Amino acid sequence: MPSAARRLFSSAAAILAAGFCSTAANAAEVEVKIDSLVGGAGASVCACFVAGEEAAVWLTSPCDGSIVALQIFWRSQFGGAQQTIEDSIIISQSGNYPTPGVIKDELLAPVMTDGVMNEYRFEDQNQTIPINIPVTSGEEFVVSFKFFNQNAGDIFAPSIVFDADGITPNKNAIKANPGGWIRSEDAGVTGDWVIRAIIDCAAGDPTGACCLPDGSCADGLTAAQCAAQSGVFQGALSTCGTLNPPCPQPTGACCFSGGGCLDLTDADCTTASGSWLGANTDCADCACDGDPNGDFTVDVNDISYVLFRLGDPCPAPGCDGDANGDGTVDVNDISYVLFRLGNPC
């Protein structure tokens, strides 16, 4: 590992954000995290570690770029704890969960301040060697925090925290002493560790989910690629499978066999037993009542149309030749057209 990584942090090397406002230095920087913490409220302090143990998260890079900063939220139960110097912050390859892989870099002796997000951008106490760890788009990596001071059982001791809305599967781990690497949930942890990385995406725009005009969703697009397909970019690191709410569905003309039309989604039209004409269609495209051949005239051609299709299977109302919409093409459809001959469309 780089020799610079062996140098000590000083308190000046930790940029302390008193809140959770954006710490990105420019628009190309993306904060990568799995936790949902906003402000300090709801965070649970895990005063449960002994010296040499670690807490780790698995993160994914949204772009080709470089890790330029690391963040650890550090807090005590009652606040006001003195600064501590802990062992290290370690960046590793993803490995085989819950065990991290080969170490990419190791930042020694971070100074931890109670009650804030501690951010580190330099590898040396003189702040002359910036953190710069290359990553590629979609690459999973591990950031782990290693303890030098024991806090287990001490209700006044500061420690790392986890959020309050559940734990992300296969993304959090603990290195226990003894026992080695285990899943955080197996140790009773119920949330995600608040350990984050900041990635400079100047070498490649971040990717995410894109909601397309037809209601489908595409993963792994940049904002520019999404816009080129007339889509709506859902943000860096977003995925189609986790969008809440999901991509909006397009609406179109929903025609009813007895007449009438509504602008609905495909699903809503099916629920209403209508016939959906497709995305962005207009109700003017609906055939009028008694016009099964859809030529906007109720005449003898519609009778011939029904006769030709007598007995055709109709899996749903509104099928071809089913003028009255009862789910069957039969003589009742002929009567239905005869009654409406000459109706305006």
- The domain ranges of the chain are 3-200, 207-242, 252-265+273-339
What is the rounded CA–CA span in Å between residue 88 and residue 147?
7
Out of 101-110, 244-253, 296-305, the most confident range is 101-110
36-45, 156-165, 254-263, 264-273: range with lowest mean pLDDT = 254-263
pLDDT(27) > 80: no
Q: Which range, of 245-254, 265-274, 312-321, averages the lowest pLDDT?
A: 312-321
Terminal CA-CA length for the chain: 78
Q: Is the pLDDT of residue 35 over 90?
A: yes
Rounded distance between C-alpha atoms, residue 53 and residue 84, angstroms: 16
Q: Comparing C-alpha atoms, which of 194, 193, 205, 225 is closest to residue 29?
A: 205
Half-sphere exposure of 28 (CA within 13 A, CB side): 12
| Residue matched to tokens 């569905």 | 249
Q: Are 23 and 119 in contact (CB under 8 A)?
A: yes
The two tokens of residue 339 are 């009654």
Q: Is the pLDDT of residue 12 over 80?
A: no
The residues near 22 (Cβ < 8 Å, ≥ 6 apart) are: 31
Q: What is the largest CA-CA distance in the chain?
A: 92
Task: Give me the pLDDT at residue 220, please.
Answer: 84
Angle between helices 300-308 and 331-339 (to 10 degrees): 170
Q: What is the pLDDT of residue 19?
A: 35
Q: Which residue has the higher pLDDT, 192 or 2?
A: 192
Q: Which residue has the higher pLDDT, 344 or 245?
A: 245
Of the candidates 34, 38, 17, 51, the residue with the CA atom closest to the CA atom of residue 157: 51
Give per-residue pLDDT as tens, 147-175.
999 999 899 999 999 999 899 999 999 99
pLDDT of residue 7: 36
Report the chain's mean pLDDT, rounded to a whole number. 84
pLDDT greater at residue 259 or residue 332: 332
Give domain 3-200's CATH architecture.
Sandwich (2.60)
Bridge partners of residue 208, in order along the sequence? 221, 236
pLDDT over threshold 60, residue 78: yes
H or E element: which one contains 222? strand 217-222
Spatial separation of the C-alpha atoms in residues 75 and 84, rounded to whole Å = 11
Q: How confident is residue 333, by pLDDT bands cut at 50, 70 and 90?
A: confident
Closest CA to 204 of 134, 290, 289: 134
Q: What is the H or E stretch that residue 180 is in?
A: strand 180-183
Q: Is 315 exposed, middle or buried, given 0-12, 13-18 or 19+ CB atoms closer than 10 A?
A: exposed
Is residue 140's pLDDT more than 60?
Answer: yes
